[in-house]
Amino acid sequence: MTERFESHDVDVLVIGAGGAGLRAAIEASAQGARVGVVCKSLLGKAHTVMAEGGVAAALAHVDPSDSWKVHFKDTMLGGKMLNNWRMAQLHAQEAPDRVRELEHWGAVFDRTQDGRILQRNFGGHSSPRLAHVGDRTGLEMIRTLQDHGVHQGLEVFMECTVTRLLTEGGRVVGAFAYWRETGRFVTFRAKAVVLATGGIGKAYKITSNSWEYTGDGHALALGAGAELIDMEFFQFHPTGMVWPPGVMGLLVTEAVRGEGGLLRNSKGERFMERYDPKRMELSTRDMVARAIYTEVKEGRGSPHGGAFLDISHKPAEVVKKKLPSMYHQFMEFANIDITKGPMEVGPTGHYVMGGVRVDADSGAATVPGLFAAGESSGGMHGANRLGGNSLSDLLVFGRRAGAGAAAYAAKAPAHAPLDAAQVASAEREMLEPFERASGPDPYSIHRKLQDSMQALVGIFRTEEDLAKGIAAVTALRKEARSMRVEGSRAFNPGWHLAHDLKNMLQISESLARCALQRKESRGAHARLDYPNPDPQFGKVNSVVTLDGDEIRVSQSPLPQMPDELRSLFEPEPAGVKS
């Protein structure tokens, strides 16, 4: 039955070609595995390309006292101690090597006076720690990985969307996909699959994320029987553009604040004094996002409903050199010269801290044969991610997941015929929307989802809003079952959305249900009805599983860190500077 479709056999199938996917693919290939990379867009267009400010690594080039221990501590404190300690440790320890490795593969980072990789300040990092290339660090990273991977001979399946993972006896053994260009179906047989599909930002109306961010990896993992953790922790980046309407949500890099940018309200007050007087503009993202939101809500916002972010006190040449794309972005989209006056900024949906539950060392998910890395995995960032820790995360854990998958594949049984029933069901699911004579179109359901998530599962949450949000999303999930798609299967964005939307709805509901059961405020999850952290909730991860079509949320104990790491958080004797 599967012979009806084009089919490919690989040892390791990597889904997603952003930083995590490419780094995983490069590693698996270096370990001798035959690797296929599947991505929804053209190679090099993944979301990593939009990352701006830098990659966090304790290279200690600018502050010689920096070390992995300080980076680890900053990361755990930023994540409100909900991070998987082992991931945070590996991340802090290995990030410097991963950055140097990129340089050896051709990346060209900005330099210090003495010719080494320059590092800049970022929120929540106690030293200048972010290696960067102006404000286009993500582009540098993805191009470096892309070219390195291409010359290593990676097989890349561009503009191909995986709709379902195929299993055999509880193991992941392949995937069902379609070519976006033709709409033809294709199957993959793989001994291991790495999910590196990014996040779920497109579920929100105001977001910095592209169309690709539809929770695909999360939905694929749930469908294969794996667990997600901590999905309630969704980061609103404090500074997105708020005007003009077409670019609302577009990212304004934290590097603006890292380079000395100041936040003010309509009264000209540096309002961060009221929220985090010690760290001010370089507070963590959860704090700054809530501060801006509060200022606007209390009537001290900018004309278009944001805060003013000003870097114009710095010399114009410095701004243009260190923040070139911000300069162009505001000049071209908003007619604002940021070397002369302030920008208007407000919170924008940016990143999901939660994701597929993985083993810290190997990236293995809770289902054999399945691995995950980068934004699609959970645990590393706890309740709130520090800026710059995502680009380092995807290098460290992309490599580890690639190695984990290659090692698993080397011992896995040979490819067997795919289960015809699973393939037929995946095919049916994709064809149904064309066969309906009537039904809602995917674009209108998507707009309704974005409105509901924005209004009811946003920066500040209450039991009442979350319950309404869950009701709205479950109703939309039902409505989506009768969606109708017009046109042919050839490059049909309506059809593509119809599938991605199902993932978005399922993962949005997971997010809202996790948010409802966590009756406390911690990091990015702020409950007006439970405004404080609760020590009991600080000991548990939220866990999402799928039961038939129903989303189930439970809790599991947070892994406990060993004493030698715990001692890093004990108060130091008076007079000793940390």
Partner 1 sequence: MAEAVLHVFRGDASGGKLEEYKVPLEEGMVVLDAIHHIQGHQAPDLAVRWNCKAAKCGSCSAEVNGKPKLMCKTRMDALPAGQPIVVQPMKTFPIVKDLVTDVKWNYEVNKKIPPFTPRQNAEWRWKQEDIDRVQEFRKCIECFLCQDVCHVLRSHGRTDAFSGPRFLVRVASLEMHPMDSLNRTKFLKDSAGIGLCNITKCCTEVCPEDITITDNAIIPLKERVVDDHYDPLRKLFRLVTGSKES
Question: Which positions are catalytic?
Answer: 237, 257
Is 103 or 463 the residue whose CB approaches partner 1 more closely?
103
Nearest CA to 538 out of 520, 514, 515 is that of 520
SS3 234: strand
Q: 403 near 373, Cβ under 8 Å?
A: no
Return the ∠ at Cα 439 (arms to 438 and 442), rounded to 5°.
Answer: 130
Is 312 or 492 the residue whose CB approaches partner 1 more closely?
492
User: Which two structure tokens, joined as six digits, stand for 513?
Assistant: 């249900």
* Helix or strand holding residue 428 (H, E): helix 420-435
CB of 181 to partner 1, least distance (A): 6
Is 354 or 433 the residue whose CB approaches partner 1 more closely?
433
For the chain, the first-to-last Cα distance in angstroms comes to 64
| Residues at the site binding partner 1, with contacts judged by CB under 8 A | 41-47, 49-50, 100, 103-106, 108, 110-111, 114-116, 133-134, 136, 139-140, 143, 147-148, 150-151, 158, 181, 210-212, 243-247, 250-251, 325, 328-329, 332-334, 441-443, 447, 485-488, 490-495
Burial class (CB in 10 A: 0-12, 13-18, 19+), 67: middle
Cis peptide before 244 (omega within 30 of 0): yes
Is 107 or 544 the residue whose CB approaches partner 1 more closely?
107
Amino acid at 565: L
CB of 283 to partner 1, least distance (A): 25
Is 16 or 379 the residue whose CB approaches partner 1 more closely?
16
Which CA distances in Å does 368 have to 22, 293, 418? 22, 43, 16
Handedness of CA 565, 566, 567, 568 (dihedral sign): positive
Q: In the 3-class helix/strand/coil scheme, how is 522-545 assigned residue by residue?
A: ECCEEECCCCCCCCCHHHEEEEEE
Nearest CA to 542 out of 320, 233, 318 is that of 233
Is 140 or 465 the residue whose CB approaches partner 1 more closely?
140
Is 172 or 334 the residue whose CB approaches partner 1 more closely?
334
User: What is d(CA 248, CA 382) in angstroms, rounded to the nearest whole number?
Assistant: 27
CB of 496 to partner 1, least distance (A): 10
User: What is d(CA 12, CA 175) in angstroms, rounded to the nearest whole number?
Assistant: 11
SS3 229: strand
Nearest CA to 383 out of 112, 82, 157 is that of 82
Is 5 or 491 the residue whose CB approaches partner 1 more closely?
491
Handedness of CA 63, 66, 72, 78 (dihedral sign): negative
CB of 276 to partner 1, least distance (A): 28
User: What is d(CA 360, CA 136) in angstroms, rounded to the nearest whole number?
Assistant: 29
